[in-house]
C-alpha cells in the first residue's frame, strides 16, 4: 500500500517506521529539520528491550504533485488536523481512506470534510512512544490497535488491519469502535487532565484525597455521559481502573501536563471537551468536565500572555 502519515512526532514516526516494513510510506511534517533528519538517517525506533531499528521512509514537508495514497493516517495534534489535511489534499483521491488514531474523540467530523463516511476509519491504539530527538523515538509499550468504519461498511478495513498486523502493529476490526474510544478516554479526561491543571505526576492524583475526589467525579461523570449513549460501562470498575493507572505510574507525566508546563496549546477540546459536547448532546450533566476545560483554557491564556 501507499501510505501517508501526517505528523512525524512520537506516534507518527513509530507507525511510519513500522508500516514501512511492508508499504511505501511518506512521512509528512512541517518541520524542515525533522524532514532533513529522516531523509538522511531514516526513522530510528528504540524498543523496550533495548533493541533498535532504523526504517528508511520518504519524508517531506511539501506534497504538491504527489499522487493520491491508499491510506492517510492523521497523527498531528487535533487542532492542526484540518490544516494538515488541507495542505495535503492532493494526496486524497476518491479511493483514499483517512484514518485517525489520535487521542480523544470527535476527530471524524474533520475527516468528513475531505472524504465520505465510507472512507473514514476511526480507531485507538495501545502503543505509546516518546520523541528522543527528531526522527528518533522510544517505543514505550505495545498492545492492540482497534479500528472501525464510521459507516459500518467494512470496505477495505480487513485488508488494512491485516497489513498493519503484518508490519508488527497488531490490529483488529471492531464493530463497536466508539466504545473502545471511550475506554481510552476515561483516564485522559480524569487523571491526565488533572496532572495538567495541578502540574503533578499521576501518583499524586491517587495519593492526595482532594485530587482523587475530583478525579473520581470526573470518571463517574464521563461514565454517565457514555452510558447515556448506550455504552454500558460499570462506574466503579472504571474508577478502579483509573486509580490503578495512577498507582502503576506514580512518576508518570502526561502529554497534556507537558503542554501546560511548556506554555503550549493542548488538545483539551478533543479530549475533555468531547465529554462536554456529548453531555450537551444527550442531556447528561458533566459540570466537573466543564470546569476542567475552562481551567485548562485559562492556563493556556495565561501562558500566551506571558
Q: Between the CA of residue 148 and those of 18, 161, 263, what are the distances in Å?
A: 20, 10, 35
pLDDT value at position 272? 97
pLDDT value at position 155? 75
pLDDT value at position 140? 87
Q: What is the CATH number of domain 2-175?
A: 3.40.50.720
Share of the chain above pLDDT 90, in %: 90
Dig out the grid coordinates for 229 from the structure.
449513549
Q: Supply the mean pLDDT for the chain.
A: 95
User: In whole angstroms, what is the distance from residue 301 CA to residue 259 CA?
Assistant: 13
pLDDT value at position 206? 97
CATH class, domain 178-305, is: mainly alpha
**Confidence at 151, pLDDT banded by 50, 70, 90:** confident
**Confidence at 306, pLDDT banded by 50, 70, 90:** confident
Instruction: Tell me if residue 304 falls in helix, strand or coil.
Output: helix
Dig out the grid coordinates for 297 from the structure.
483554557
Q: How do the domains of the chain map onto residue ranges?
A: 2-175, 178-305
Q: What's the average model confidence in pLDDT over 69-91?
A: 96
Q: Is the pLDDT of residue 161 over 80?
A: yes
102 and 184 Cβ atoms separated by less than 8 Å: no
Q: What's the average model confidence in pLDDT over 214-239?
A: 97
Q: Which residues are the active-site residues?
A: 184
Higher-scoring residue by pLDDT: 174, 283:
283
Cβ-based neighbour number of residue 298 at 10 Å: 11
Higher-scoring residue by pLDDT: 150, 161:
161
Among 149-153, 186-190, 280-284, the minimum mean pLDDT is found in 149-153
In this predicted model, what pLDDT tens digit does every residue of 89-120 receive, in sequence order?
999 999 999 999 998 888 999 999 999 999 99
pLDDT value at position 134? 95
Higher-scoring residue by pLDDT: 223, 306:
223
> pTM of the full predicted structure?
0.86
Amino acid at each position: 500500500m501507499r501510505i501517508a502519515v501526517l505528523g512525524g512526532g512520537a506516534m507518527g514516526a513509530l507507525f511510519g517506521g513500522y508500516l514501512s516494513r511492508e508499504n511505501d510510506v511518506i512521512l509528512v511534517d512541517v518541520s524542515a529539520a525533522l524532514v532533513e533528519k529522516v531523509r538522511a538517517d531514516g526513522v530510528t525506533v528504540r524498543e523496550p528491550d533495548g533493541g533498535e531499528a532504523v526504517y528508511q521512509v520518504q519524508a517531506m514537508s511539501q506534497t504538491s504533485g504527489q499522487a493520491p495514497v491508499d491510506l492517510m493516517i492523521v497523527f498531528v495534534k487535533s487542532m492542526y488536523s484540518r490544516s494538515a489535511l488541507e495542505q495535503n489534499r492532493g494526496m486524497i483521491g476518491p479511493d483514499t481512506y483517512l484514518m485517525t488514531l489520535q487521542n480523544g474523540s470527535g476527530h471524524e467530523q474533520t475527516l468528513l470534510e475531505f472524504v465520505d463516511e465510507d472512507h473514514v476509519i476511526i480507531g485507538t491504539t495501545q502503543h505509546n512512544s516518546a520523541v528522543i530527538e527528531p526522527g528518533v523515538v522510544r517505543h514505550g509499550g505495545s498492545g492492540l490497535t482497534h479500528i472501525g468504519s464510521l459507516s459500518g461498511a467494512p470496505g477495505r478495513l480487513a485488508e488494512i488491519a491485516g497489513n498493519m498486523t503484518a508490519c508488527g502493529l497488531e490490529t483488529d476490526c471492531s464493530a463497536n469502535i466508539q466504545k473502545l474510544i471511550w475506554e481510552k478516554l476515561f483516564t485522559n479526561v480524569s487523571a491526565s487532565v488533572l496532572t495538567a491543571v495541578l502540574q503533578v505526576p499521576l501518583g499524586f492524583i491517587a495519593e492526595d484525597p482532594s485530587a482523587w475526589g475530583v478525579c473520581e467525579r470526573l470518571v463517574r461523570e464521563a461514565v454517565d455521559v457514555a452510558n447515556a449513549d448506550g455504552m454500558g460501562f460499570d462506574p466503579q470498575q472504571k474508577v478502579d481502573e483509573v486509580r490503578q493507572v495512577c498507582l502503576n505510574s506514580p512518576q508518570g507525566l502526561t502529554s497534556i501536563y507537558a503542554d501546560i508546563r511548556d506554555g503550549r496549546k493542548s488538545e483539551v477540546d478533543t479530549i475533555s471537551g468531547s465529554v462536554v459536547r456529548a453531555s450537551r448532546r444527550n442531556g447528561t450533566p458533566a459540570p466537573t468536565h466543564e470546569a476542567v476545560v475552562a481551567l485548562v483554557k485559562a492556563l493556556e491564556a495565561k501562558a500566551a500572555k506571558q
